[in-house]
Each structure stands twice: as C-alpha cells, then as structure tokens.
C-alpha cells in the first residue's frame, strides 16, 4: 500500500511541476513582451534602426561603442609597432642610436642645440 501512495504522490508532484513550469513560461513571455515594447518605443524615439540593434547584438557593444572602436582601428598608424632602422648614432657612444622617431634622447637634444646633429647621421 505504501508503494501506491508514493507513486500517487510522485504523480501529483509531477503535475504540480508541469503547472509551475507553464506558469513560469507565461510570466516569462509576459515580461519579455513588456521589455520588447519598451525597446521598440525607445528605438522609435531615438531613431535607432533594427540594423543598429542587430549589429550591436552581434558585436556585444552598443552602436556608438562599435563606431568608436572602428574609428580607433581606422586611425591606427600602419607602421605602429614595426621596428625601424636607426637613423642617428651617438659619436661619443656608438652603442646609442636613435631612429628619428618619438622623443629624442638627451644626446640628440644636445647635438641639436649645438647644430651638429647632421654629423650623427648613419650613412644609408
């Protein structure tokens, strides 16, 4: 007898579980419908298109952030990070060189002030 009682209790619990799952799905759908209505309203008010939203969903960023990231990569110097041959060599210390890019070393600044930087040019 205990076996049939346990079986009937399990059946009742499974029915309750099914009802709860259906209720959860209905509440979730209702919540999603309200959220979608808000999204559509905000999109219409701000002039955002469906393509903007799809693009933002694909990249995981807002359209504005995606455009900013595209601009950053578009502006990047194509020679950035590439090694450049030195253009100047310190006559006092031949181990010190400078490519002519970026902040100049102190010995270059001193040579510029003296007007003798041309003598430090490495022949090409």
Contact 121/90 with Cβ under 8 angstroms? no
Q: What is the mean pLDDT of residues 94-120?
A: 91
Q: List pLDDT tens digits, range 49-102.
A: 888 888 888 887 665 665 665 566 566 777 777 888 999 999 999 999 999 988
User: Band of the pLDDT at 31, cuts 50, 70, 90?
Assistant: very high
- SS3 state at 82: coil
Q: At residue 95, what are phi and psi to the nearest 5 degrees?
A: -75, -20
User: pLDDT at position 84, please?
Assistant: 87
Tokens at residue 45, please? 């008010």
User: pLDDT at position 62, please?
Assistant: 61
User: Band of the pLDDT at 124, cuts 50, 70, 90?
Assistant: confident
Question: Rounded to a whole number, what is the distance in angstroms from the first to the last CA of the chain?
Answer: 102
User: pLDDT at position 68, please?
Assistant: 61
C-alpha distances in angstroms, 18 versus 10, 24, 31, 81, 82?
A: 12, 10, 20, 61, 63
**Percent share of the chain, pLDDT over 90:** 45
User: pLDDT at position 66, please?
Assistant: 55
User: pLDDT at position 60, please?
Assistant: 75
Tokens at residue 52, please? 């903007």
Quick one: how far is CA 27 from the chain centroid?
34
Q: How many CB atoms lie within 10 A of CB 57?
A: 9
Please list, residue by residue across 87-120, b when 16 or more beta carbons sit within 10 angstroms of its beta carbon and e when fewer do: ebbbeeeeebbbeeeeebeebbeebeeeeebeeb
Q: What is the mean pLDDT of residues 99-119?
A: 91
Domain locations in the chain as residue ranges:
2-75, 88-120
Please give the torsion angle defined by the CA atoms of residues 17, 19, 25 and 30, in that order, rounded to the nearest 10 degrees.
Answer: -140
User: pLDDT at position 15, please?
Assistant: 95
Q: What is the mean pLDDT of residues 9-26?
A: 94
């Amino acid at each position: 007898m205990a076996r049939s009682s346990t079986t009937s209790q399990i059946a009742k619990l499974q029915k309750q579980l099914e009802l709860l799952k259906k209720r959860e799905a209905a509440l979730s759908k209702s919540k999603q419908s309200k959220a979608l209505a808000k999204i559509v309203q905000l999109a219409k008010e701000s002039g955002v298109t469906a393509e903007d939203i799809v693009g933002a969903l694909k990249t995981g960023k807002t359209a504005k952030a995606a455009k900013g990231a595209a601009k950053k990569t578009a502006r990047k110097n194509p020679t950035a990070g590439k090694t450049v041959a030195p253009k100047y060599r310190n006559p006092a210390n031949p181990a010190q060189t400078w490519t002519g890019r970026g902040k100049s070393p102190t010995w270059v600044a001193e040579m510029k002030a003296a007007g003798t930087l041309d003598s430090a040019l490495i022949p090409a």
